[in-house]
Amino acid sequence: MPRPREFDEQDVVARATDLFWRRGYHATSVRDLGDELGLSASSLYRTFGDKHGLFLRALDHYRATETAAARERLDGPGAARSVLREWLVRSIDVPAARPPARGCFVVNTATELGSDDPDVDRRTGAAFSATREAVERVLRRGCTEGELPPDLDVAAAADALFTLQLGLQVRARAGHDPAHLTAVIDSAVRGLG
């Protein structure tokens, strides 16, 4: 008869997300996970299958929390330029509660694993698509409400802003000056027309 679990699976996934986010997939060993999460290797394998299974759960957890919160902010009220500026500024903002140079877990994962892992590629692609679509909605709303030019190429502008956001995250992780990056953001938002 198997022993009952003595841990909260959701808590373990949240803590594993934090570890993978800080260290990356390849730099995190099963031993690291066991030490950080207080799990034996057998408990980890019995519950999650393997390190990859836990990593996928961690990536799903991040998408359901952090990525969803970013989309909610984009879909929230406010002038389009203000909403977009706030979203971009949050890309370079490093709250005191987090270690610096952490970036976005989805971006870090896409950079580390690329498209070599179909399960990961599907998840990162879905996260990127959802964010880009949310940016398009903000731009369309801005056009409809007269804040942005009615003939704005929304798809191209959304691609440009999303690409800018990814680049900002990389530059923030590299320790570039937040004031300079904020000036870049302000220039991009003004350039919407």
Q: pLDDT digits over 161-188, tens only?
A: 999 999 998 898 888 999 999 999 999 9
Extract the tokens encoding 157: 């502008």
Q: Tell me the mean pLDDT in the region 100-115.
A: 85
Domain encompassing residue 76: 9-190
CATH number of the domain enclosing 177: 1.10.357.10
Does residue 116 lie in a domain region? yes
Does residue 3 lie in a domain region? no
Does residue 4 lie in a domain region? no
Q: How far apart are CA 82 and CA 189, in angstroms?
A: 9
Does residue 2 lie in a domain region? no
Q: Tell me the mean pLDDT in the region 134-139.
A: 97
User: Which pLDDT value is given to residue 69?
Assistant: 86
Does residue 165 lie in a domain region? yes
Q: pLDDT digits over 41-61, tens only?
A: 898 889 999 999 999 999 999
Does residue 68 lie in a domain region? yes
Does residue 154 lie in a domain region? yes
User: Which pLDDT value is given to residue 96?
Assistant: 46
Count of structural domains, the chain: 1
Q: How far apart are CA 155 and CA 111, in angstroms?
A: 24
Q: How far apart are CA 19 and CA 17, in angstroms?
A: 5
Does residue 1 lie in a domain region? no
CA quadruple 121, 123, 126, 131: dihedral positive or negative? negative
Q: What is the DSSP letter of 33?
A: H
Q: Does residue 138 contact residue 70 with C-beta atoms inside 8 Å?
A: no
Q: What does pTM read for this prediction? A: 0.86
